[in-house]
Amino acid sequence: MTDPRRVVPRTDAVLAELADEVQQYGRSAVKAEVVVALQRVRDGKIAAERVVDEVRAALDTGPRAVLNATGVVVHTNLGRAPLSDAAKDAVLAAAGTTDVEFDLATGARRRRGENALAALRSAVPDAGDVHVVNNNAAALLLCALAMAADREIVISRGELVEIGDGFRIPDLLCASGARLREVGTTNRTSVRDYADAVGPDTGFILRVHPSNYRVTGFGGTPRVDELIGLGVPVVVDIGSGLLTPHPLLPDEPDATTVLRAGATLVTASADKLLGGPQAGLLFGEAALVERLRRHPAARALRVDKLTLAALAATVRGPRPPVRTALEAGQHELLERAQIMAKTLAAQGVDAQAVSSTAVVGGGGAPGVELPSAAVSLPERYAVALRTGRVPVVGRVERGRCLLDLRTVAAADDAVLLEAVLRCT
């Protein structure tokens, strides 16, 4: 029997193969993992040729870049909106010392993130002012703390929604010290229901857009403008973050339209249909926005300089990837799928170009289907691609692994091809 120690690679030889990792993580960190892996070879737990892969796997503890081929445009489990190149550049520029709260012209302190706030004001001029917190749940929490602590929030029973990972809007609001005054029924709520509930203890009426489900059939809720005359503020959570109407999503609310309907405040997410970083956006009456901004809890909910930089670049910059994916034509997608399938078939892969159906996802435009195109592969590719060197996440339908190209940037087609061939 061969002594395992005779086939153990030399430490310096392994480090030479890991030159990129040494540059990224530092020699000491990489060498420590090499020592551990070499000991596993001596113990007979791994083969000598696995040492480099073992070290890379041990070092790769952070988030990994993933190709989203699921056909879900805003995939929460894959980080929601991918940032535009302009936003990525802005994050890199802001990673060092930056003027996030400093006026270079006067040498004095200025309002935090003024560039991002100015971009949002310009994009939604109907808002008296804007404020940014770390997500949309935080925006709702801040509204409840500042406007309804020890008071009532009037909300329809049909809008007591659960968001991701078991978090529920009612629990969030009650954690602020507010009391919920539920009105109407699951499927129907009228103006009269709201009017009967409003009283001296009412902090505000809350409308929550059901952005991750639909009620069909016998149902109905009042328009925002029908609630304006009830004598209390109306806060509207539009959810997915459209700033203006989008022709492909006529039923999805947007900040501009809702403010024009008379809403006192509008809250939204920045990392969904807006296509930016995780953040919660608040638009509305200037005095009320300032009141929220000055609330003690606002400090705990504020965003960092990197988020502000990415947000400003998203709002002011070129079309973000989410918008590109949403608006891509099926004919263009099918052409890409056909080229890719033909290339793979020439390499002996059972690949076909097929029509498919994509969705918006991420708590936006529920029920909207987007005609798309995919590369269809044998089902075994799903796991192989997901666990590959460049992870690719597709979906399995009818025993086939579909790689939906609506959510793959055209610039990544070569990367996707290489990933599939590596699994073949």
Q: What is the DSSP string of 284-335?
A: E-HHHHHHHHTSHHHHHT---HHHHHHHHHHHHSS--HHHHHHH--HHHHHH
DSSP per-residue codes, 98-151: --TTB-TTTSSB--TTHHHHHHHHHH-TT-SEEEEESSHHHHHHHHHHHHHTTS
CA atoms within 13 A on the CB side of 8: 18
Whole-angstrom distance, CA of residue 330 vs CA of residue 9: 52
pTM greater than the 0.85 cutoff: yes
pLDDT of residue 189: 96
pLDDT of residue 327: 97
Residue 94: which residues within 8 A CB-CB, separation 6 or more?
100, 305, 306, 308, 309
pLDDT of residue 1: 47
For strand 202-208 and strand 152-156, is the pairing parallel, antiparallel, or unpaired?
Answer: parallel
Residue 252: which residues within 8 A CB-CB, separation 6 or more?
240, 242, 246, 273, 364, 365, 368
Whole-angstrom distance, CA of residue 390 vs CA of residue 183: 50
Over its C-alpha atoms, the chain yields an Rg (Å, rounded) of 26
pLDDT of residue 210: 84
Decide: 282 and 258 in contact? Cβ < 8 Å. no
Under-50 pLDDT residues of the chain: 1
Whole-angstrom distance, CA of residue 347 vs CA of residue 275: 36
pLDDT of residue 4: 53
pLDDT of residue 3: 59
Distance of CA 301 to CAs 1, 131, 264, 270, Å? 63, 11, 21, 15
The secondary element (H helix, E strand) that includes residue 374 is strand 369-378
**CA max distance for the chain:** 88
